[in-house]
Structure 1
Amino acid sequence: MNRRTFSIACLGAMAALAAPATRAFSTQTGSGEQPSASQQAGRIPGKPHIAFLLYEGMTALDLIGPVEVLAGAEFSVDFVAADRNPVFAENRSDRRLGLVPTATYADISSTDILCVPGTSNPYVQIAKHDMIEWVAATGAQAQWVTSVCTGSFILGAAGLLKGYRATSHWSLAPQLAYFGAVPVAERVVHDRNRVTGAGVTSGIDFGLTLLSLLCDTQTAMAKQLVLEYDPHPPFNCGSPRVAEPELVKTVQEQYGGYLKQVAPDAAQLLKEHAARLGVTLPAAS
Protein backbone atom coordinates (compact mmCIF):
# COMPACT_ATOMS: atom_id res chain seq x y z
CA MET A 1 0.00 0.00 0.00
CA ASN A 2 1.57 3.29 -1.15
CA ARG A 3 1.43 6.76 0.41
CA ARG A 4 -1.40 7.83 -1.92
CA THR A 5 -3.50 4.89 -0.78
CA PHE A 6 -2.74 5.77 2.83
CA SER A 7 -4.04 9.29 2.17
CA ILE A 8 -7.19 7.99 0.49
CA ALA A 9 -7.80 5.64 3.39
CA CYS A 10 -7.69 8.60 5.77
CA LEU A 11 -10.31 10.65 3.90
CA GLY A 12 -13.37 10.95 6.03
CA ALA A 13 -11.52 9.65 9.08
CA MET A 14 -12.08 12.87 11.04
CA ALA A 15 -15.84 12.42 10.81
CA ALA A 16 -15.51 8.95 12.26
CA LEU A 17 -13.08 9.76 15.05
CA ALA A 18 -15.66 9.65 17.79
CA ALA A 19 -17.21 6.41 16.57
CA PRO A 20 -15.93 3.07 17.90
CA ALA A 21 -13.94 0.89 15.55
CA THR A 22 -15.96 -2.04 14.23
CA ARG A 23 -15.12 -5.27 12.53
CA ALA A 24 -15.72 -5.14 8.78
CA PHE A 25 -17.01 -8.70 8.81
CA SER A 26 -18.80 -11.11 11.08
CA THR A 27 -17.52 -14.55 11.96
CA GLN A 28 -19.90 -15.88 9.32
CA THR A 29 -21.31 -14.26 6.19
CA GLY A 30 -25.03 -13.94 5.56
CA SER A 31 -24.90 -16.73 2.99
CA GLY A 32 -23.45 -19.13 5.52
CA GLU A 33 -20.02 -19.05 3.87
CA GLN A 34 -16.95 -18.76 6.08
CA PRO A 35 -14.88 -15.59 5.58
CA SER A 36 -11.60 -15.86 3.74
CA ALA A 37 -8.28 -16.34 5.50
CA SER A 38 -7.42 -12.69 4.92
CA GLN A 39 -10.73 -11.66 6.49
CA GLN A 40 -10.15 -13.97 9.41
CA ALA A 41 -6.86 -12.17 9.96
CA GLY A 42 -8.66 -8.82 10.03
CA ARG A 43 -7.75 -7.45 6.60
CA ILE A 44 -10.12 -4.87 5.17
CA PRO A 45 -9.56 -4.25 1.44
CA GLY A 46 -8.38 -0.71 0.70
CA LYS A 47 -7.41 0.09 4.29
CA PRO A 48 -3.86 0.11 5.68
CA HIS A 49 -3.23 -2.87 7.93
CA ILE A 50 -1.64 -2.52 11.37
CA ALA A 51 -0.15 -5.54 13.12
CA PHE A 52 0.29 -5.05 16.86
CA LEU A 53 2.56 -7.67 18.40
CA LEU A 54 1.34 -9.36 21.58
CA TYR A 55 3.51 -11.41 23.91
CA GLU A 56 3.49 -12.66 27.48
CA GLY A 57 4.75 -10.06 29.94
CA MET A 58 4.30 -7.02 27.71
CA THR A 59 3.40 -3.66 29.26
CA ALA A 60 -0.31 -3.14 28.66
CA LEU A 61 -0.18 0.65 28.32
CA ASP A 62 2.50 0.38 25.62
CA LEU A 63 -0.19 -1.29 23.51
CA ILE A 64 -3.40 0.33 24.72
CA GLY A 65 -2.26 3.93 24.20
CA PRO A 66 -1.39 3.50 20.50
CA VAL A 67 -4.40 1.25 19.91
CA GLU A 68 -6.75 3.93 21.24
CA VAL A 69 -5.23 6.39 18.78
CA LEU A 70 -4.76 4.15 15.74
CA ALA A 71 -7.41 1.42 15.83
CA GLY A 72 -10.06 3.53 14.16
CA ALA A 73 -12.20 3.14 11.08
CA GLU A 74 -9.40 4.25 8.76
CA PHE A 75 -7.28 1.14 9.44
CA SER A 76 -7.66 -2.60 9.66
CA VAL A 77 -6.00 -4.02 12.74
CA ASP A 78 -4.70 -7.34 14.02
CA PHE A 79 -3.22 -8.35 17.35
CA VAL A 80 -0.63 -10.98 16.54
CA ALA A 81 0.86 -13.57 18.88
CA ALA A 82 2.50 -16.98 18.70
CA ASP A 83 -0.92 -18.62 19.10
CA ARG A 84 -4.50 -17.59 19.79
CA ASN A 85 -4.40 -18.19 23.53
CA PRO A 86 -4.87 -15.11 25.74
CA VAL A 87 -1.67 -13.17 26.36
CA PHE A 88 -1.22 -11.76 29.85
CA ALA A 89 0.38 -8.37 30.39
CA GLU A 90 2.97 -7.91 33.09
CA ASN A 91 1.82 -7.19 36.61
CA ARG A 92 3.46 -7.75 39.96
CA SER A 93 0.22 -9.25 41.33
CA ASP A 94 -1.58 -12.46 40.37
CA ARG A 95 -4.35 -10.44 38.69
CA ARG A 96 -3.12 -9.72 35.20
CA LEU A 97 -4.81 -8.16 32.20
CA GLY A 98 -5.53 -10.71 29.48
CA LEU A 99 -5.30 -9.76 25.80
CA VAL A 100 -6.83 -11.89 23.06
CA PRO A 101 -4.90 -12.26 19.77
CA THR A 102 -6.80 -12.03 16.50
CA ALA A 103 -4.06 -13.72 14.47
CA THR A 104 -0.91 -15.81 14.79
CA TYR A 105 2.53 -15.51 13.21
CA ALA A 106 1.39 -18.07 10.64
CA ASP A 107 -1.64 -15.94 9.72
CA ILE A 108 0.24 -12.69 9.11
CA SER A 109 3.23 -12.71 6.77
CA SER A 110 3.01 -9.03 5.82
CA THR A 111 1.56 -5.78 7.09
CA ASP A 112 1.63 -2.09 6.24
CA ILE A 113 2.45 -0.97 9.79
CA LEU A 114 4.20 -3.10 12.40
CA CYS A 115 3.91 -1.92 16.01
CA VAL A 116 5.79 -3.57 18.88
CA PRO A 117 5.05 -2.70 22.52
CA GLY A 118 7.63 -3.01 25.27
CA THR A 119 8.12 -4.71 28.61
CA SER A 120 10.06 -4.20 31.83
CA ASN A 121 12.27 -7.18 30.91
CA PRO A 122 13.16 -6.93 27.22
CA TYR A 123 16.00 -9.43 27.54
CA VAL A 124 13.72 -12.44 27.90
CA GLN A 125 11.83 -11.28 24.81
CA ILE A 126 14.84 -10.85 22.53
CA ALA A 127 15.77 -14.46 23.29
CA LYS A 128 12.49 -15.70 21.77
CA HIS A 129 13.72 -16.86 18.36
CA ASP A 130 10.31 -17.50 16.77
CA MET A 131 9.06 -14.05 17.71
CA ILE A 132 12.23 -12.28 16.57
CA GLU A 133 12.17 -14.16 13.27
CA TRP A 134 8.55 -13.15 12.66
CA VAL A 135 9.27 -9.51 13.51
CA ALA A 136 12.31 -9.53 11.21
CA ALA A 137 10.44 -11.04 8.27
CA THR A 138 7.30 -8.95 8.69
CA GLY A 139 9.15 -5.73 9.45
CA ALA A 140 11.38 -6.12 6.40
CA GLN A 141 8.28 -5.83 4.19
CA ALA A 142 6.33 -3.26 6.21
CA GLN A 143 6.02 0.34 5.08
CA TRP A 144 6.28 1.52 8.68
CA VAL A 145 8.22 -0.19 11.48
CA THR A 146 7.38 1.13 14.92
CA SER A 147 7.66 0.50 18.65
CA VAL A 148 6.89 1.87 22.08
CA CYS A 149 9.23 1.74 25.08
CA THR A 150 11.50 -1.34 25.05
CA GLY A 151 9.66 -2.68 22.03
CA SER A 152 12.60 -1.06 20.24
CA PHE A 153 14.80 -3.81 21.71
CA ILE A 154 12.68 -6.37 19.85
CA LEU A 155 12.97 -4.37 16.63
CA GLY A 156 16.69 -4.04 17.26
CA ALA A 157 17.18 -7.76 17.85
CA ALA A 158 15.33 -8.36 14.58
CA GLY A 159 17.89 -6.21 12.78
CA LEU A 160 15.37 -3.50 11.96
CA LEU A 161 17.03 -0.53 13.68
CA LYS A 162 20.58 -0.83 12.40
CA GLY A 163 21.63 2.62 11.19
CA TYR A 164 18.43 4.26 12.44
CA ARG A 165 17.90 6.84 15.16
CA ALA A 166 15.64 5.38 17.82
CA THR A 167 14.49 5.73 21.40
CA SER A 168 13.29 3.55 24.26
CA HIS A 169 12.65 3.85 27.98
CA TRP A 170 15.18 6.37 29.29
CA SER A 171 16.86 3.86 31.61
CA LEU A 172 17.71 1.43 28.80
CA ALA A 173 17.84 3.57 25.66
CA PRO A 174 21.68 3.68 25.48
CA GLN A 175 21.68 -0.10 25.03
CA LEU A 176 20.07 0.31 21.61
CA ALA A 177 23.63 0.79 20.37
CA TYR A 178 24.11 -2.97 20.70
CA PHE A 179 21.65 -3.36 17.82
CA GLY A 180 23.38 -0.79 15.63
CA ALA A 181 20.82 1.92 16.37
CA VAL A 182 21.63 5.51 17.26
CA PRO A 183 20.04 6.14 20.69
CA VAL A 184 18.17 9.43 20.98
CA ALA A 185 16.76 10.85 24.21
CA GLU A 186 13.47 12.10 22.79
CA ARG A 187 9.85 11.19 23.49
CA VAL A 188 9.16 10.18 19.88
CA VAL A 189 11.79 9.62 17.20
CA HIS A 190 10.95 9.51 13.49
CA ASP A 191 13.74 8.37 11.17
CA ARG A 192 12.60 7.57 7.64
CA ASN A 193 10.00 4.79 8.01
CA ARG A 194 10.92 4.01 11.62
CA VAL A 195 8.96 5.60 14.46
CA THR A 196 9.86 4.77 18.05
CA GLY A 197 8.37 6.01 21.30
CA ALA A 198 10.12 6.36 24.65
CA GLY A 199 8.78 4.93 27.91
CA VAL A 200 5.23 3.64 28.43
CA THR A 201 3.04 6.80 28.43
CA SER A 202 4.82 8.13 25.35
CA GLY A 203 2.70 5.60 23.45
CA ILE A 204 -0.05 8.20 23.09
CA ASP A 205 2.40 10.80 21.72
CA PHE A 206 3.82 8.08 19.49
CA GLY A 207 0.36 7.13 18.22
CA LEU A 208 -0.57 10.72 17.42
CA THR A 209 2.76 11.29 15.66
CA LEU A 210 2.31 8.14 13.59
CA LEU A 211 -1.29 9.06 12.76
CA SER A 212 -0.10 12.44 11.46
CA LEU A 213 2.41 10.65 9.23
CA LEU A 214 -0.08 8.07 7.97
CA CYS A 215 -2.91 10.57 7.43
CA ASP A 216 -2.27 14.24 8.13
CA THR A 217 -1.77 16.67 10.98
CA GLN A 218 -5.42 17.74 11.06
CA THR A 219 -6.60 14.15 11.52
CA ALA A 220 -4.12 13.63 14.35
CA MET A 221 -5.13 16.91 16.00
CA ALA A 222 -8.80 15.96 15.84
CA LYS A 223 -8.00 12.60 17.41
CA GLN A 224 -6.04 14.30 20.20
CA LEU A 225 -9.03 16.52 20.93
CA VAL A 226 -11.48 13.61 20.90
CA LEU A 227 -9.25 11.79 23.39
CA GLU A 228 -8.92 15.00 25.45
CA TYR A 229 -5.20 14.39 25.55
CA ASP A 230 -4.07 17.42 27.55
CA PRO A 231 -1.73 15.99 30.19
CA HIS A 232 -1.10 17.92 33.37
CA PRO A 233 0.81 15.46 35.57
CA PRO A 234 0.56 16.02 39.31
CA PHE A 235 4.35 16.00 39.66
CA ASN A 236 7.06 17.44 37.44
CA CYS A 237 9.28 14.36 37.47
CA GLY A 238 8.22 12.28 34.47
CA SER A 239 11.61 12.46 32.78
CA PRO A 240 15.19 12.31 34.06
CA ARG A 241 15.65 15.75 32.52
CA VAL A 242 13.28 17.32 35.05
CA ALA A 243 13.27 14.89 37.98
CA GLU A 244 15.47 15.46 41.01
CA PRO A 245 18.83 13.67 40.57
CA GLU A 246 18.31 11.71 43.79
CA LEU A 247 14.99 10.37 42.51
CA VAL A 248 16.55 9.39 39.18
CA LYS A 249 19.32 7.56 41.03
CA THR A 250 16.84 5.72 43.27
CA VAL A 251 14.70 4.59 40.33
CA GLN A 252 17.77 3.48 38.37
CA GLU A 253 19.02 1.44 41.32
CA GLN A 254 15.63 -0.18 41.92
CA TYR A 255 15.08 -1.04 38.26
CA GLY A 256 18.68 -2.17 37.85
CA GLY A 257 18.31 -4.46 40.86
CA TYR A 258 15.16 -5.96 39.39
CA LEU A 259 16.86 -6.61 36.05
CA LYS A 260 19.83 -8.28 37.73
CA GLN A 261 17.41 -10.73 39.31
CA VAL A 262 15.31 -11.52 36.24
CA ALA A 263 17.99 -11.15 33.54
CA PRO A 264 21.43 -11.90 35.02
CA ASP A 265 22.81 -12.71 31.56
CA ALA A 266 21.60 -9.47 29.94
CA ALA A 267 25.08 -8.10 29.16
CA GLN A 268 26.16 -11.31 27.46
CA LEU A 269 22.91 -11.52 25.51
CA LEU A 270 23.36 -7.98 24.21
CA LYS A 271 26.91 -8.75 23.10
CA GLU A 272 25.71 -11.87 21.29
CA HIS A 273 23.10 -9.86 19.41
CA ALA A 274 25.70 -7.23 18.53
CA ALA A 275 28.01 -9.91 17.14
CA ARG A 276 25.18 -11.52 15.16
CA LEU A 277 24.19 -8.18 13.67
CA GLY A 278 27.78 -7.22 12.86
CA VAL A 279 27.74 -4.25 15.23
CA THR A 280 31.14 -3.01 16.37
CA LEU A 281 31.00 -1.73 19.93
CA PRO A 282 33.41 0.61 21.72
CA ALA A 283 36.13 -1.19 23.66
CA ALA A 284 34.47 -0.32 26.98
CA SER A 285 31.16 -2.02 26.04
Structure 2
Amino acid sequence: MTVSAQVVLFDGFDPLDVIGIYEVLTAGGMVGGEIRPWLVSAEGPRTVPSGTPGIGLTAEAVLDPERPGYVVVPGAVGPVESAPDDDTPTIPVLLARFAQSAAMPLVRRAMENPEVTVATVCGGSVALALAGLLEGRTAVTNSMGNDLLEATGVRVVDARVVDDGDLLSAGGVTSGLDLGLYVLEREAGPRIARSVEAIFEFERRGTVWADRGRVPQPL
Protein backbone atom coordinates (compact mmCIF):
# COMPACT_ATOMS: atom_id res chain seq x y z
CA MET A 1 0.00 0.00 0.00
CA THR A 2 1.29 3.44 -0.92
CA VAL A 3 2.20 5.66 2.04
CA SER A 4 0.93 9.23 1.88
CA ALA A 5 3.08 12.22 2.89
CA GLN A 6 1.17 15.52 3.03
CA VAL A 7 3.56 18.48 2.84
CA VAL A 8 1.88 21.56 4.32
CA LEU A 9 2.22 24.91 2.52
CA PHE A 10 1.57 28.23 4.25
CA ASP A 11 2.21 31.84 3.32
CA GLY A 12 5.94 32.49 3.75
CA PHE A 13 7.10 28.86 3.74
CA ASP A 14 10.71 28.06 2.86
CA PRO A 15 10.78 26.47 -0.63
CA LEU A 16 13.87 24.38 0.13
CA ASP A 17 12.24 22.93 3.25
CA VAL A 18 9.44 21.71 1.01
CA ILE A 19 11.26 20.73 -2.17
CA GLY A 20 14.10 18.86 -0.46
CA ILE A 21 11.93 16.26 1.24
CA TYR A 22 9.31 16.29 -1.56
CA GLU A 23 11.87 15.35 -4.23
CA VAL A 24 13.48 12.69 -2.03
CA LEU A 25 10.13 11.03 -1.34
CA THR A 26 9.09 11.32 -4.99
CA ALA A 27 12.33 9.63 -6.08
CA GLY A 28 11.76 6.94 -3.48
CA GLY A 29 8.35 6.25 -4.97
CA MET A 30 9.83 6.06 -8.46
CA VAL A 31 12.32 3.35 -7.46
CA GLY A 32 9.76 1.21 -5.68
CA GLY A 33 9.38 2.82 -2.28
CA GLU A 34 5.58 3.07 -2.52
CA ILE A 35 5.39 6.55 -1.01
CA ARG A 36 3.53 9.51 -2.47
CA PRO A 37 4.05 13.13 -1.35
CA TRP A 38 1.29 15.72 -1.73
CA LEU A 39 1.38 19.49 -1.48
CA VAL A 40 -1.53 20.58 0.73
CA SER A 41 -2.76 23.64 2.59
CA ALA A 42 -5.36 24.38 5.23
CA GLU A 43 -7.44 26.21 2.63
CA GLY A 44 -7.27 23.51 -0.05
CA PRO A 45 -6.09 23.93 -3.64
CA ARG A 46 -4.41 27.31 -4.16
CA THR A 47 -1.10 28.84 -5.16
CA VAL A 48 0.77 29.55 -1.94
CA PRO A 49 3.46 32.26 -1.89
CA SER A 50 6.73 31.31 -0.26
CA GLY A 51 8.95 33.65 1.69
CA THR A 52 11.32 33.80 -1.27
CA PRO A 53 10.21 36.50 -3.73
CA GLY A 54 8.92 35.10 -7.00
CA ILE A 55 8.49 31.52 -5.81
CA GLY A 56 5.13 29.95 -5.05
CA LEU A 57 3.85 26.38 -5.08
CA THR A 58 0.39 25.03 -5.75
CA ALA A 59 -1.39 23.01 -3.09
CA GLU A 60 -3.42 20.25 -4.70
CA ALA A 61 -5.66 19.40 -1.77
CA VAL A 62 -6.71 20.38 1.73
CA LEU A 63 -4.68 18.99 4.63
CA ASP A 64 -6.48 15.85 5.80
CA PRO A 65 -5.58 14.89 9.38
CA GLU A 66 -7.43 11.59 9.01
CA ARG A 67 -5.26 10.35 6.13
CA PRO A 68 -2.76 7.73 7.41
CA GLY A 69 0.91 8.37 6.72
CA TYR A 70 2.96 11.51 7.25
CA VAL A 71 2.25 15.21 7.63
CA VAL A 72 5.36 17.28 6.86
CA VAL A 73 5.57 20.79 8.31
CA PRO A 74 8.24 23.12 6.82
CA GLY A 75 9.67 26.31 8.22
CA ALA A 76 9.63 29.85 6.88
CA VAL A 77 12.15 32.02 5.05
CA GLY A 78 12.79 35.75 5.35
CA PRO A 79 14.94 38.14 7.35
CA VAL A 80 15.77 37.07 10.87
CA GLU A 81 15.35 40.61 12.22
CA SER A 82 13.47 43.65 10.96
CA ALA A 83 15.45 46.29 9.11
CA PRO A 84 14.58 50.01 9.14
CA ASP A 85 12.10 50.96 6.41
CA ASP A 86 11.59 47.29 5.45
CA ASP A 87 8.17 45.76 6.08
CA THR A 88 9.18 42.26 4.92
CA PRO A 89 7.89 39.80 7.54
CA THR A 90 10.67 38.18 9.55
CA ILE A 91 10.95 34.44 10.06
CA PRO A 92 9.67 34.69 13.68
CA VAL A 93 6.64 36.68 12.48
CA LEU A 94 5.87 34.19 9.70
CA LEU A 95 6.15 31.22 12.06
CA ALA A 96 3.96 32.95 14.65
CA ARG A 97 1.31 33.65 12.01
CA PHE A 98 1.45 30.03 10.88
CA ALA A 99 1.11 28.88 14.50
CA GLN A 100 -2.12 30.88 14.78
CA SER A 101 -3.48 29.92 11.36
CA ALA A 102 -6.24 27.54 10.33
CA ALA A 103 -3.59 24.90 9.63
CA MET A 104 -2.76 24.30 13.29
CA PRO A 105 -6.04 22.73 14.41
CA LEU A 106 -5.62 20.31 11.50
CA VAL A 107 -2.02 19.55 12.48
CA ARG A 108 -3.17 19.03 16.08
CA ARG A 109 -5.73 16.48 14.88
CA ALA A 110 -3.03 14.79 12.81
CA MET A 111 -0.80 14.55 15.89
CA GLU A 112 -3.66 12.95 17.79
CA ASN A 113 -4.16 10.37 15.02
CA PRO A 114 -2.24 7.16 15.84
CA GLU A 115 -1.93 6.45 12.11
CA VAL A 116 -0.07 9.70 11.39
CA THR A 117 3.56 10.66 11.95
CA VAL A 118 4.21 14.41 11.90
CA ALA A 119 7.61 15.45 10.53
CA THR A 120 9.07 18.94 10.71
CA VAL A 121 11.86 20.61 8.78
CA CYS A 122 13.85 23.53 10.20
CA GLY A 123 11.45 26.11 11.70
CA GLY A 124 8.44 23.81 11.33
CA SER A 125 9.03 22.52 14.85
CA VAL A 126 9.14 26.11 16.14
CA ALA A 127 5.71 26.79 14.63
CA LEU A 128 4.30 23.68 16.31
CA ALA A 129 5.92 24.67 19.61
CA LEU A 130 4.45 28.17 19.39
CA ALA A 131 1.06 26.55 18.88
CA GLY A 132 1.54 24.56 22.10
CA LEU A 133 1.84 21.19 20.35
CA LEU A 134 5.34 20.07 21.39
CA GLU A 135 5.50 20.53 25.16
CA GLY A 136 7.26 17.55 26.67
CA ARG A 137 8.38 16.19 23.30
CA THR A 138 11.91 15.74 21.96
CA ALA A 139 12.82 17.66 18.81
CA VAL A 140 15.30 19.84 16.99
CA THR A 141 15.14 22.86 14.70
CA ASN A 142 17.55 25.30 13.08
CA SER A 143 20.26 26.11 15.63
CA MET A 144 18.97 29.69 15.85
CA GLY A 145 15.62 28.44 17.17
CA ASN A 146 16.67 25.80 19.68
CA ASP A 147 16.49 28.22 22.63
CA LEU A 148 12.88 29.03 21.70
CA LEU A 149 12.02 25.34 21.55
CA GLU A 150 13.46 24.82 25.02
CA ALA A 151 11.52 27.82 26.33
CA THR A 152 8.27 26.16 25.22
CA GLY A 153 9.02 22.95 27.12
CA VAL A 154 10.65 20.95 24.32
CA ARG A 155 13.62 18.69 25.01
CA VAL A 156 16.12 19.75 22.35
CA VAL A 157 18.66 17.25 21.05
CA ASP A 158 21.77 18.22 19.12
CA ALA A 159 21.21 15.99 16.10
CA ARG A 160 20.55 16.36 12.39
CA VAL A 161 17.32 14.30 12.64
CA VAL A 162 15.40 13.37 15.79
CA ASP A 163 13.00 10.42 15.97
CA ASP A 164 10.49 10.84 18.80
CA GLY A 165 8.16 8.09 17.64
CA ASP A 166 5.22 9.72 15.89
CA LEU A 167 7.16 13.01 15.73
CA LEU A 168 10.19 13.41 13.49
CA SER A 169 12.13 16.66 13.28
CA ALA A 170 15.12 17.90 11.32
CA GLY A 171 17.49 20.81 11.91
CA GLY A 172 18.48 23.46 9.38
CA VAL A 173 17.00 23.83 5.93
CA THR A 174 19.09 21.24 4.04
CA SER A 175 18.33 18.61 6.69
CA GLY A 176 15.05 18.04 4.87
CA LEU A 177 17.06 15.80 2.54
CA ASP A 178 18.27 13.72 5.50
CA LEU A 179 14.75 13.57 6.90
CA GLY A 180 13.33 12.39 3.60
CA LEU A 181 15.92 9.64 3.34
CA TYR A 182 15.19 8.55 6.90
CA VAL A 183 11.46 8.37 6.13
CA LEU A 184 12.28 6.20 3.10
CA GLU A 185 14.42 3.94 5.26
CA ARG A 186 11.61 3.64 7.84
CA GLU A 187 8.94 2.90 5.26
CA ALA A 188 10.74 1.07 2.46
CA GLY A 189 14.07 -0.06 3.87
CA PRO A 190 17.73 0.94 3.52
CA ARG A 191 18.16 -0.26 -0.06
CA ILE A 192 15.51 2.16 -1.33
CA ALA A 193 17.00 4.98 0.75
CA ARG A 194 20.53 4.19 -0.49
CA SER A 195 19.29 4.14 -4.08
CA VAL A 196 17.90 7.66 -3.71
CA GLU A 197 21.13 8.80 -2.03
CA ALA A 198 22.97 7.64 -5.14
CA ILE A 199 20.49 9.36 -7.48
CA PHE A 200 20.89 12.66 -5.63
CA GLU A 201 24.65 12.18 -5.10
CA PHE A 202 24.00 13.10 -1.48
CA GLU A 203 25.31 11.37 1.62
CA ARG A 204 23.25 11.62 4.78
CA ARG A 205 24.84 13.51 7.66
CA GLY A 206 24.97 12.39 11.26
CA THR A 207 23.17 9.70 13.23
CA VAL A 208 19.41 9.88 13.67
CA TRP A 209 18.76 10.36 17.40
CA ALA A 210 16.11 8.20 19.03
CA ASP A 211 15.37 7.52 22.70
CA ARG A 212 16.44 3.89 22.73
CA GLY A 213 19.55 1.81 23.26
CA ARG A 214 22.24 2.14 25.88
CA VAL A 215 23.10 5.45 27.53
CA PRO A 216 26.72 6.42 26.78
CA GLN A 217 29.04 6.46 29.77
CA PRO A 218 31.32 9.47 30.43
CA LEU A 219 34.88 9.01 29.23
Q: Indicate which of 67, 70, 76 corresponds to 2:22.
A: 67
1:148: how far off?
Answer: 0.3
Partner of 2:176: 203
Is residue 162 of structure 1 aligned with residue 135 of structure 2?
Answer: yes
Partner of 1:185: 158
Q: Does the aligned pair in 1 maintain the 2:47–2:58 contact within 8 Å?
A: yes
1:159: how far off?
Answer: 4.1
Partner of 1:110: 66
Superposition map of 1:117-136 within 5 A: 117-120=74-77, 121-127=91-97, 128-136=100-108
Identity of paired residues, percent?
Answer: 28
1:97: how far off?
Answer: 0.9
Unaligned runs of 5+ in 2: 78-90, 205-219
**Secondary structure of the structure 1 residue equivalent to 2:118:** strand
Q: In 2, Cα distance between the equivalents of 1:162 and 1:185?
A: 18
Q: Would you say how many aligned residue pairs link Structure 1 and Structure 2?
A: 181
Q: In 2, Cα distance between the equivalents of 1:169 and 1:109?
A: 26
Q: Does the aligned pair in 1 maintain the 2:110–2:118 contact within 8 Å?
A: no
Normalized per residue, the structure richer in strand is 2
State the AA in 1 paired with 2:72: C
State the AA in 1 paired with 2:59: P
After superposition, the Cα gap between the structure-2 partners of 1:147 and 1:216, relative to the gap in structure 1 and judged at 3 Å, is same
Q: In 2, Cα distance between the equivalents of 1:60 and 1:172?
A: 19
1:230: how far off?
Answer: 4.5
State the AA in 1 paired with 2:178: D
Is residue 51 of structure 1 aligned with residue 2 of structure 2?
Answer: no
Unaligned runs of 5+ in 1: 1-45, 232-285
1:103: how far off?
Answer: 0.6
Deviation per CA, 1:130-166: give whole Å up to 9, x if none: 1211111122214311100000022324444222211
Superposition CA RMSD, Å: 1.9
Superposition map of 1:223-238 within 5 A: 223-230=196-203
Q: Does the aligned pair in 2 maintain the 1:47–1:75 contact within 8 Å?
A: yes
After superposition, the Cα gap between the structure-2 partners of 1:124 and 1:90, relative to the gap in structure 1 and judged at 3 Å, is closer
Deviation per CA, 1:65-85: give whole Å up to 9, x if none: 001111224123321112322
Moved more, 188-197 or 120-129: 120-129
Is residue 216 of structure 1 aligned with residue 185 of structure 2?
Answer: no
After superposition, the Cα gap between the structure-2 partners of 1:60 and 1:116, relative to the gap in structure 1 and judged at 3 Å, is same
Q: Indicate which of 96, 100, 105 corresponds to 2:54.
A: 96
Q: In 2, Cα distance between the equivalents of 1:177 and 1:129?
A: 22
Deviation per CA, 1:176-232: give whole Å up to 9, x if none: 12332111222111122221110111111111122111221221111101111149x
Partner of 1:254: none
Q: Does the aligned pair in 1 maintain the 2:12–2:94 contact within 8 Å?
A: no
Normalising by the residue count of structure 2, what TM-score does the alignment of the two structures yield?
A: 0.75
Deviation per CA, 1:240-259: give whole Å up to 9, x if none: xxxxxxxxxxxxxxxxxxxx
**Secondary structure of the structure 2 residue equivalent to 1:206:** helix
Normalising by the residue count of structure 1, what TM-score does the alignment of the two structures yield?
A: 0.59
Q: In 2, Cα distance between the equivalents of 1:160 and 1:214?
A: 25
Q: Which has the higher contact order (CA 8 A, sep 6+)?
A: 2
After superposition, the Cα gap between the structure-2 partners of 1:179 and 1:215, relative to the gap in structure 1 and judged at 3 Å, is farther
